[in-house]
Structure 1
Amino acid sequence: MVIFFPLQKAFVFTETRAEQPKQHYILLTKDNKFQIRYTHSIHHSDVVEFYQYVEDDRIQMLRMEYEDLAIGMPGYAEENQTLTQRDGKYFLSFDNHKIIDNFTIYIGDLDLELVWIYKGVEYDLKKDLQRGKSYLFEIKRLSLYEQWKGVRLK
């Protein structure tokens, strides 16, 4: 007899520096692109980062869109990058950008926007995750038990 435990692919945010880390997740469909939009803490303008997940549940940054140069924002393109300006915005595209397994996202304790966008739905990470904490972000396959034990972001 074979027992099958279904696994569902998800964006998973796992608390770092915690004895019993909680996992927060967003279930995925076939759409492999997502975005992070945040308000820059110095410029107070929006920055949008565009990503996709690729084979083996890895992550690739595609491009950035922002309004202000200087502190914390690239003012020129490096190798395998293209920087263009249009309608008062800068667009930095990455050609063959490095593919990574995960990254850490810090939920700052400032009243500035931090939104995860997937399939047109916006998830307010400042509301859904704990301010002042860091979370390891990765794409994982979760069992029903792991989903039940974790916190589904809505």
Structure 2
Amino acid sequence: MKKWIFIILVFLCLIAWFIPFERSIVFTETRVQKPVQHFLSLKSDNEFQLIFTHSIHLTDVEESYKVLSTNEFQLLAMKYTDVAIGMPGHAEEGQTLDYKDGVYTLQYNDAKLEKFTLHIGNVDYKLNLQHKGEIIPLKKHLIRGKSYLVTVQRLSLYDKMKGVELDD
């Protein structure tokens, strides 16, 4: 009888080890044979920001996202101070643009992304992910000059052991 209980417990532990349970933002290196996955567990807060220094303007840009229950990203807003090269100076359909105290805020009504690619430039400018008040410098965790596919996935304990946690 004890043997069967032990076998059942081992079997249940193995199942629990491989069942995806925790939603995470996953950064998967592209264009490599064996990509390394870096991840940030979302836990209860589904909103985050990418904050970077624009390489031409040398001013900060903040992109705000929300992770939806469909595991899509909803782009909420983008804040910036310069509308020259690469930054919108007007709102398009489904957007509103406000200017207050020297900051442009472009808000999106319904912009959703299933995934996106993030290139880690080989320059000494800021690229941070902010989540739950914590700032994670992505250039300290991800390889400069590489591109990463950013998705939302449910990870198992096994997946998490294979990957690299960003907020450790």
Q: Verify same fold: TM over 0.5.
A: yes
Instruction: Give identity over the alignment, percent.
Output: 46
Q: SS at 2:139's partner residue?
A: helix
**2:61 equivalent among 43, 47, 50:** 47
1:74 to 2:88 alignment: yes
Deviations 1:83-121 (A, max 9, x none): 110000101011122x22110000000000000011011
- Equivalent pairs counted in the alignment come to 153
In 2: Cα distance, 1:19 partner to 1:27 partner: 25
Which of structures 1 and 2 has the bigger CA Rg?
2
- Matched residue, 1:16: 30
Gaps of at least 5 residues in structure 2 are: 1-7
Equivalent positions of 1:121-140 (< 5 A) are 121-140=134-153
Structure 1 unaligned residues grouped into runs of 5+? none
Q: How does 1:1-154 map to 2 (within 5 A)?
A: 3=12, 4-5=15-16, 6=19, 7-97=21-111, 99-154=112-167
TM-score by length of 2: 0.88
Structure 1 position 30, deviation (Å):
1.4
Give the secondary structure class of the aligned counterpart of 1:147.
Answer: helix
Alpha-carbon distance in structure 1 between the residues aligned to 2:158 and 2:110 = 37
Q: Is the 8 A contact 2:47 2:66 kept in 1?
A: yes
Question: 2:4 — aligned with what?
Answer: none
1: distance between equivalents of 2:61 and 2:113? 21
Q: CA RMSD in A?
A: 1.2
Could you say which structure has the higher strand fraction? Answer: 1
Larger helix proportion, structure 1 or 2?
2
1:135 is displaced (CA, Å) by 0.3
CA distance in 2, matches of 1:148, 1:79: 43
How far 1:70 moved relative to its partner? 1.4
Equivalent-residue separation in structure 1 for 2:99 and 2:110 (angstroms) = 21
Moved over 4 A (4+): none
Superposition deviation, residue 133 in structure 1:
0.2
